[in-house]
Amino acid sequence: MTAVQEERTTDDLRALAERAGRELEDASALEILRWAAETFGDRFCVTSSMEDAVVAHLASRALPGVDVVFLDTGYHFPETIGTRDAVAAVMDVNVITLTPRRTVAEQDAEHGPRLHDRDPDLCCALRKVKPLEEGLKGYQAWATGLRRDESETRANTPVVGWDEKRGKVKISPIAKWSQEDVQTYVTEHGVLTNPLLMDGYASVGCAPCTRRVLEGEDARAGRWAGRSKTECGLHG
């Protein structure tokens, strides 16, 4: 950590994010991540749902050994946990697994079973939003794999923006990429992907809240299907 990184105030970080958002709009994903590596050093991390390891791979090229933060909600598909373990084993990254304060069994005892069916917002708050908030405390900036083409709610995602809720710079280096761009990168670099993507799933989240997508549906249609909920609260 450099002295400059330690001294940055929230206002400094906000101004930095807003300026970079404008200046890096036309930069490549790797250029954006190189800027993040130079600007934040080890106060920068990537978050990954382990749907694929594209952003983690890009970030490891910009900052070898970069922290890759994974939220283990206790409800993941075994394939997702396997993808995380494979990423940790073969890539030049430091995988950090965050867990909620309560196990699924403890949550069931407190709130009743299948909270995800009755109050998914509360379940996501307890198992995703809160652990991430705590896990990101030491960082000034975090990168995500959000893409504008994934859904209407993500259509205006900036490549670098300000995360008001957490007081951090939020970087979405592949915001402008299409699914085809992702596939091309995966093929060219042999990037690990979640096996469920080959089994009809277009977006992979917790098992109880994820189904396969149907022809013509957008990539996130299989998440909380049948509910008005479209996001878990990590990106709102």
Catalytic positions are 232
Residue 124 Cβ, how far from ligand SF4 at the closest point, in Å? 4
- In this structure, how many other beta carbons lie within 10 angstroms of the beta carbon of residue 207? 16
Q: Which residue is nearest to ligand SF4 (CB)?
A: 206
Closer to ligand SF4 by Cβ: residue 12 or 117: 117
CA distance 149 to 7: 36
Can you tell me which of 21, 120, 135, 222 binds ligand SF4, judged by CB under 6 A?
120
Contacts of 58 (CB under 8 A, 6+ apart): 29, 30, 33, 173, 174, 185
128 binds ligand SF4 (CB under 6 A): yes
69 binds ligand SF4 (CB under 6 A): no
Contacts of 120 (CB under 8 A, 6+ apart): 209, 224, 227, 229
46 binds ligand SF4 (CB under 6 A): no
Q: Which range of residues in 26-34, 57-65, 139-147, 206-214 is near ligand SF4 by CB under 6 A?
A: 206-214
Contact residues for ligand SF4, defined by CB under 6 A? 73, 75, 116, 120, 123-124, 127-128, 205-206, 208-209, 232
